[in-house]
Amino acid sequence: MSRTRTGRLTAALLLTAVLALGAVALSACGSGDDTASPSASPSSGPITVTDDSGAEVTLEQAATRIVSMAPANTEIAYAIGAGDKMVAGTSYDDYPEEATSLPKIGDFANPSVEKIASYQPDLVLAAGGIQDKLRRRLEELGVKVYVVDPTAYDGAIATIENVGKLAGADAGAAKVTDEMTAAQMEVQASVGDLEKATTFLEIYNKPLMTAGSGTFIDDMIMIAGGENIGAEAGSGFPNFSTEVLVQKDPTVYIADSGSMSEPGDIEKRAGFSELTAVKDGRVYVIDDNLIARPGPRLAEGLKKLAEMIHPEASADQ
């Protein structure tokens, strides 16, 4: 008789313990997110936004299963607090830490449509460009797709807001966008009056590739007080003649880390020894994740660009 009672007691205690732990765990998940309670599902009606490709995206209710097709989009989802709704990402998702353990749907250029569909997402965050074809295929399968492809810094802000609405994370999105707007205003305040410094941003080394007009990188350089000489080579990411680069002789030379160049190597390149930027030691490398991904970290990227383009402004502070 005492055995059964002890058994029952133990079982009850264990069950309570498990439940308690579960509650603690669950609450810990949401503890860093002070928006968890009030805006769990802010709107109960249909949500309609226009994405960066100009298409209207409507969800009946906030998304609960999100698949991301680009590392930037994954970053956005986690930053606005919708990380718990992420069901799959790309093999290149490396930020934040949690994203690396997400199931993978393939890489940026060749994600698997079948795999995406198998996760039964109610929202897919796609990138522009080559993923366009896939968008149609996905929509044919009844999946809602939102394309993230801003061409300017404000565009990035607006799109994050939209994603927040679709994911039912309006407050989280507002926090992120506020930070981004603040960064922009801060930078504008410190460098807005200074003379624009001619800048070249190297996206890739061989061939020499830069950010052209109509890219958010170009916009960020401008906000940071620079004049992007890459803009005259066209829109998108055009290749750039070394001769013209030397002729234009930019004041600042920034290489993104994706081009695998070190300032030491850059200075040794053919013809570069005569560049003002090289002679004045104004050759920098910037982490490409801060400027190439249209996500929350653009704020950081913007500040870094400003430091590099106008070091005198930050020196004053």
| Pairwise CA distance, residues 147 & 162, whole Å | 10
Q: Which is nearer to other proteins, 208 or 306 (CB)?
A: 208
Instruction: Give the residues lining the site for other proteins (CB under 8 A).
Output: 92, 107-110, 204-209, 232-234, 238-247, 249, 258, 260-261, 265, 269-274
Q: Which is nearer to other proteins, 195 or 243 (CB)?
A: 243
Q: Which is nearer to other proteins, 202 or 307 (CB)?
A: 202
Q: Which is nearer to other proteins, 97 or 243 (CB)?
A: 243
* Minimum CB–partner distance for residue 178 and other proteins (Å): 32
* Minimum CB–partner distance for residue 299 and other proteins (Å): 24
| Pairwise CA distance, residues 220 & 183, whole Å | 11
User: Of how many residues is the chain composed?
Assistant: 317
- E-state strands within 211-298: 226-228, 252-256, 283-286
Q: Would you give the distance in Å from CA 113 to the centre of its chain? A: 22
* Minimum CB–partner distance for residue 81 and other proteins (Å): 29
Which is nearest to 152 in space by CA: 226, 229, 221? 221
The residues, ordered by sequence, that sit 6+ positions from 142 with a Cβ below 8 Å of its Cβ are none
Residue type, 162: N
Which is nearest to 294 in space by CA: 71, 72, 70, 54? 72
* Minimum CB–partner distance for residue 287 and other proteins (Å): 15
Q: Which is nearer to other proteins, 171 or 246 (CB)?
A: 246
Q: Which is nearer to other proteins, 256 or 307 (CB)?
A: 256
* Minimum CB–partner distance for residue 103 and other proteins (Å): 19
Give bridge partners of residue 66 from the DSSP assignment: 86, 123
* Minimum CB–partner distance for residue 88 and other proteins (Å): 18
* Minimum CB–partner distance for residue 273 and other proteins (Å): 7
Q: Which is nearer to other proteins, 95 or 153 (CB)?
A: 95
Which letter, b or e, does each residue of 256-272 get, where b requires 16 or more Cβ atoms within 10 Å of its Cβ? bebbebebeebbebeeb
Give bridge partners of residue 200 from the DSSP assignment: 253
> What token pair was written down for 249?
């002789």
- E-state strands within 73-122: 86-88
Neighbours of 170 (CB within 10 A): 21
* Minimum CB–partner distance for residue 110 and other proteins (Å): 6
Residue 63: phi, psi to the nearest 5?
A: -70, 145
Q: Which is nearer to other proteins, 103 or 236 (CB)?
A: 236
